[in-house]
Structure 1
């Protein structure tokens, strides 16, 4: 009997594969659009709820919150964040790592402060946690498990707190104007409590793990699970209590319903991915809590400052202090995990602080000044000066939002611009209304930025910084928030066209309208300029998702895929997100580096897609240094294949030794180098950061004797972030490093290779021979199938009269261009190790564009 099978796509109501693929490909953009939409709905909901609330009522409520309540709220906030650090610490212990609490605490505290303030937790806090734990030695799969367990801890706490709150509530709960009866609420609480008991029962019956797709999630022991749920419940209790104590004259009898409303509001803010839950969290609390609207809204404003902004400032100061100490004292400070975490997370947090400074200026410009502060300005400054300062402060705030990505990218231009804007913003804050509080905050951020100045080492304009979509979304939400605050503050002022031209000392509403228009025009103008000045890299990603990289590299057979981490490439990702290709645009030439990375089934999709995009941009396509496996696709695309050279590959299946006559000179070199006192060592990636100053010294000395700029694109360059990803082979002489090479390894142990190879000019004879011999022996001992010694450009090209013109030209350069590059010398050096030679090719558009494409590729590689 023939078994019949019905695909899911054929079932009634099932989504079509094309729709699923489209949703998968655009899920980030859809998330951002969803966040923007929900933000607008949240602002509208808050506006409708506060329609009868006056700004003066909110200010009076703020004045009724005394210093003791603020101190208690601050203490509860500290307790909540301490509990948050235990989420990760328990999760790390669950997967079998013994990291100290301070390491997990630093990673979790910084990642939570980022995700709390920016939302989109998987893109912001998740990536921050990944970078922090990778600096501590965990791989991608381990970090994914830590994230899942920490999330499970949070949701376990949510379930526990919700169950207790529902069971203890004494009054019906009003939701969307409807009263939910006590019986229903108590029944839901009992169901949630039973769900927690069921999980405990499954664990005690031997269920040790959960499988989610390809990820195995270990379940902690019942005692540890109880501890995790208790910690999460404590976190939520402290966080909600920090808000409750800020409500003036709050009735303690409402604590149960207040906790329940808080949990519902937090869950809504999380699932909508709105940055900081702005609008959504406030709307839910105002709708669910039966407390005076003015008092509750005042408490929510203070809560934003205490629970969100102060921890962000503290995390930024902490990481900048760690990073600043590392930059100023690299030998003493570069040894610990904390310093590696500081190095990876300081730029995002500094960028977030700069962004926060811009948000402060925008909201301040939308609200009327504090009572009585305009009187000193009236006596000292003319009105046009105050008006101009108010308008300029809002423009500076918008400019800070747009400068933040350049700060994250460690651009010198971003540092100088942000520092100037922060100081200018502080000055304008004082001149527009003596707002010394926000001026102090801006100067503190400027001080942190100044302290981290050595970390801004990249030379490029602000416009060169990549701006992720969620940065644009966050900037737009910040502008919407400031506009909403202004319309709320001046909702009793009747609108008329004359307001735009009303200049008066008490003309706060006109100032708000002019400032909002200026900020909007600046944001739109910047977006228009970025759109019009963008290079023809249509649809490419400037950063490679860690998930895509992990999936694509799981089964690769070529180590040069590690070029994806050099930081100088754009990426095109397959629709299945398990393969990618790397490329860069130089002039009009789209240079693709090597074969696509990932399963060969995805190569055709990627190559044809890059061909279409290149054609849409009127560019030339150049596939650089591809393997013979790519030749059918090169021909299929209508490109002209040109042999570029050969690479040397050493078979390691039988180990590697120096027996036999062909290795006589190599044995002599190794023996002599060893007798000079050279010692070989492989340094794990987790320890490379501590060696960066010594490696920098060797690299600088090596580059000093080389003409031209440092090579890139097809080779790595000396970059601390790049080098710290890989193990490093070093040669020491009397304890000092005199030569090094970073090691590339494929996860499946198919191939091992090296990229950056540098040594001091006065290194003893035979040092590089010793380095490569030991690396070959190390690769064989580690079970690798082959060692790739790299390319010999133009090697193996035929010069005969029947050969193509490119082959004859390349052979001539190879034979007579030794002074330019050392072509034959490079092949001779690699030949000593007994390799096999494998051809590599270039595929480019045929005709007169070939020379231009080759020149562009040479310029790109030459730096």
Structure 2
């Protein structure tokens, strides 16, 4: 029977989107409130006020912003001191700045900023748990600091939020004093008693009082300087800075709680509502607009320039060796950053076509410019903006064609901007984006078509949100423009509103059609088990590459995904919402990264979670680039064979045991196909007898089962005693002849003493003599792994997998047994999404490993699911 998993219900498929839907709902609520607050505001007036802001005020706001981000570096510095880790100060500054610059702009700062730090700090040896502790420490510190500072300011100025809170000033002051007292008291108790808090698998101990004080200082500086940036840009009022600090702290906390990216709409609503009624709303809107540009977009732009310079230095080879891992990690951030930049460029280009001229020069140029140029520039800008939103998805997936299309779209956008009222500012913005994108070409290597994978549901939500924002911009910009008596498609030199409507129609039509095309495009993957022809096709790929573990693809119990060229493959099975790929892709080295990306894309498009199970350390940079987290599940014992022998004092015990086995009558032989007709029945009898002594039945997926059709195609090592076979192991080899391993290893119940040690010793001697470089003894669980209640999630995952996926069916003393051969212990991981439920993944893997035998419709192959060569 084949694996016929029931398709997930609609509610089950929509569940991962609920956080996005809630965030959009909160954003819509904030936008609706802001709409009412800005009902009397004219966009032209807002732009005029923004342009009239004195240069010295802008300069002071920029300096306050840079100082605030410098204070943010202190979060990471103190967090590293807290976990007792040390990194070079330039690396700390880089990781902190990029983390906050991208996290503040993209949103979900804890996740986005944490991912940035993971890529940079892990390059210098920090573990995922270390980086999670840094992010958690910084978040908790900010929470305590913002609470104490914000409520402290409210205690001093209880009237600050009088327009928003239905409470008397006295009650606001009393509640604020209580909150500050409780927060400070809790910190004092934690510091004195040395308490600790465990959040999931992360345990946070109380920091030292000096470190706690330093962190509070960094938080205070951060909030004070960020508030100062906005305070400088707002119009003068009788609201003192101390009172405004309470307003700002409340606005920031509201934005954080809402999870809206950057708190857009939420922060503005709180600030506008809290300011005195005597302050002109248009001036406040201008200040908030400049604040967004200076505090959010300017640092993000600087981070993009920094990445572009890093890519240029890497391309020229001018990178210090000691910083090479860090620069490669920065390169891993490029697709996300360039995708956001292209998304912002497209939205900016489209919105600019919806806004009428806001300066006298632009209005005069519009009158002097030929009508066809104006109309054509507006329509072209809208089309290009919509195209950029689509291209951004390809950049996120590292598609090479998307990079070329992005360059062309930005260049065309510059031309369209100049044609549309000689908009030099817009052209300059797009020109800077083009220069930033130019040196990053090496990061976009996937040859897949831009339209190959459907948009994920999350991306569709983002695009729909942008369309709503465009519609809001259109109506806000033209709410006072009379056009009821004009046909909206009628060209007119002095009617910017109909032109904006046409541009909006074109842009939204392109977006809507693109979403429809991508969403309705049929899937390219088949989840049927392979046919005999496909087995032979993958056999050629397995034999042509050096990793012997790829032989597990030949059992026929896993689905196969081939590269476009057919020179590479990936094996996987589906269980519930988990798409579980076994090991890394194998085949042509130049295609492996693209194949892994394609598998992840297909899983996400199906609203499933991609899992790369039992992968080594060699491709850790790839998993990090794909945004996956690594959970260590065990270690593989690999014996170097270049100098392996039984000579010397270090091999005395092994040599003695081997000589004793020879004297007792054991002999070793490697049999090669074709085999004698009576061999398989003899091995089957040994296998059946061996299984009777073990709990459970045949396993699969990552370990083979006794299948004559599979075993008859590869060499088999046998041990004889008095002329009869007492043990056997089928060998995994490839034509590269670099590394060898085994799959099944079975013996009779009354085997002679030292049989297993003799078998492995002979295998090592045999392949050393054949010129192989390595021999894998298989995997072993981490020492002390236990699925006890309260253990870390990763520990329970490893324990569950190894309990059901063991090949020797007994892990007691397994590591000690393999240590006799002096192997190199190499880590083995599971690569999963950081947001994935690890226990759910473990359950799916265990279910695949432990299920009953299944027969492939095209062969006698057994299916199952878990591989640990041992």
TM-score after normalising by structure 1: 0.66
Which 10-residue stretch deviates more, 465-474 or 439-448? 465-474
SS at match of 1:51: coil
1:197-346 equivalent positions in 2, closer than 5 A: 197-251=184-238, 253-290=239-276, 291-329=279-317, 332=320, 335-336=323-324, 338-346=326-334
Q: Choose which of 2, 6, 18 in structure 2 pairs with 1:30.
A: 18
Deviation at 1:126, TM superposition (A): 2.8
Deviation at 1:281, TM superposition (A): 1.9
Report if the CA contact (8 A) 2:384-2:412 is conserved: yes
Cα offsets for 1:523-555 (capped at 9, x unmatched) = 22222222222526699xxxxxxxxxxxxxxxx
Report if the CA contact (8 A) 2:407-2:438 is conserved: yes
CA distance in 2, matches of 1:802, 1:368: 82
- The number of aligned residues is 655
Which 10-residue stretch deviates more, 98-107 or 140-149? 98-107
- Counterpart in the other structure of 1:132: 120
- Counterpart in the other structure of 2:659: none
Q: Choose which of 767, 770, 773 in structure 2 pairs with 1:832.
A: 767
- Counterpart in the other structure of 2:173: 186
Cα offsets for 1:217-251 (capped at 9, x unmatched) = 12211121122112112111111111111112333
Matched, 1:751 2:636: yes
SS at match of 1:217: strand
Which 10-residue stretch deviates more, 196-205 or 71-80? 196-205
- Counterpart in the other structure of 2:642: 769
- Counterpart in the other structure of 1:358: 346
Change (3 A) 1:157 1:753: same
CA distance in 2, matches of 1:794, 1:400: 58
CA distance in 1, matches of 2:507, 2:292: 23
Change (3 A) 1:428 1:45: same
CA distance in 2, matches of 1:387, 1:406: 29
SS at match of 2:162: strand
Matched, 1:406 2:394: yes
Change (3 A) 1:403 1:845: farther
- Counterpart in the other structure of 2:130: 142
- Counterpart in the other structure of 1:739: none
Report if the CA contact (8 A) 2:399-2:444 is conserved: yes
Matched, 1:811 2:684: no
- Counterpart in the other structure of 2:59: 71
Change (3 A) 1:341 1:85: farther
Report if the CA contact (8 A) 1:357-1:397 is conserved: yes
Cα offsets for 1:295-331 (capped at 9, x unmatched) = 1111011111111111111011112212321232076
SS at match of 1:752: strand
Which 10-residue stretch deviates more, 49-58 or 844-853? 844-853
Change (3 A) 1:287 1:835: closer
CA distance in 1, matches of 2:594, 2:32: 54
Report if the CA contact (8 A) 2:153-2:242 is conserved: yes
Deviation at 1:349, TM superposition (A): 1.7
CA distance in 2, matches of 1:133, 1:797: 54
Report if the CA contact (8 A) 2:47-2:358 is conserved: no
- Counterpart in the other structure of 2:492: 504
Matched, 1:92 2:80: yes
Which 10-residue stretch deviates more, 21-30 or 216-225? 21-30
CA distance in 1, matches of 2:128, 2:397: 22
CA distance in 2, matches of 1:850, 1:330: 55
Change (3 A) 1:146 1:441: same
Matched, 1:427 2:312: no
Deviation at 1:117, TM superposition (A): 1.5
CA distance in 1, matches of 2:708, 2:427: 67
Report if the CA contact (8 A) 2:583-2:613 is conserved: no
Change (3 A) 1:623 1:172: closer
SS at match of 2:398: coil
- Counterpart in the other structure of 1:14: none
Report if the CA contact (8 A) 2:61-2:294 is conserved: yes
SS at match of 2:360: coil
Change (3 A) 1:797 1:164: farther
Cα offsets for 1:817-844 (capped at 9, x unmatched) = x999589996788853698897999999
SS at match of 1:769: coil
Matched, 1:527 2:515: yes
CA distance in 2, matches of 1:746, 1:204: 32
SS at match of 2:451: helix
Report if the CA contact (8 A) 1:265-1:284 is conserved: yes
Report if the CA contact (8 A) 1:710-1:717 is conserved: no
Change (3 A) 1:503 1:134: same
CA distance in 2, matches of 1:138, 1:810: 43
Change (3 A) 1:794 1:309: farther
Report if the CA contact (8 A) 1:163-1:189 is conserved: yes
Change (3 A) 1:800 1:232: same
Deviation at 1:499, TM superposition (A): 4.1
Report if the CA contact (8 A) 2:641-2:764 is conserved: no
Change (3 A) 1:813 1:223: closer
Where structure 2 has 5 or more consecutive residues not aligned to the other structure, the ranges are: 1-8, 528-546, 597-611, 625-629, 654-669, 685-705, 717-731, 742-762, 769-774, 779-806, 809-848, 864-870
Report if the CA contact (8 A) 1:366-1:483 is conserved: no
**Cα RMSD after superposing both structures:** 4.9
Which 10-residue stretch deviates more, 346-355 or 436-445? 346-355
1:99-178 equivalent positions in 2, closer than 5 A: 99-169=87-157, 171=159, 173-176=161-164
Report if the CA contact (8 A) 2:255-2:262 is conserved: yes
Deviation at 1:709, TM superposition (A): 9.8
CA distance in 2, matches of 1:244, 1:709: 52
Cα offsets for 1:679-728 (capped at 9, x unmatched) = xxxxxxxxxxxxxxxxxxxx99x989xxx9999779999998546889xx
Report if the CA contact (8 A) 1:203-1:221 is conserved: no
CA distance in 2, matches of 1:561, 1:153: 49
CA distance in 2, matches of 1:93, 1:50: 46
Cα offsets for 1:619-656 (capped at 9, x unmatched) = xxx99899xxxxxxxxxxxxxxxxxxxxxxxxxxxxxx
Cα offsets for 1:117-149 (capped at 9, x unmatched) = 222334423322222222232111111111110
Deviation at 1:170, TM superposition (A): 6.3
Change (3 A) 1:625 1:461: closer
- Counterpart in the other structure of 2:37: 49
Change (3 A) 1:198 1:801: closer
SS at match of 2:488: helix
Report if the CA contact (8 A) 1:427-1:439 is conserved: yes
Which 10-residue stretch deviates more, 36-45 or 528-537? 528-537
Change (3 A) 1:423 1:587: closer
Cα offsets for 1:30-85 (capped at 9, x unmatched) = 11111122222222111111112222332342244211111111111111111111
CA distance in 1, matches of 2:632, 2:581: 25
CA distance in 2, matches of 1:592, 1:45: 51
1:787-826 equivalent positions in 2, closer than 5 A: 807=708, 811=712, 821=735
CA distance in 2, matches of 1:170, 1:710: 57
- Counterpart in the other structure of 1:61: 49
1:631-710 equivalent positions in 2, closer than 5 A: none
Cα offsets for 1:591-620 (capped at 9, x unmatched) = 9847x8xxxxxxxxx64667xx9xxxxxxx
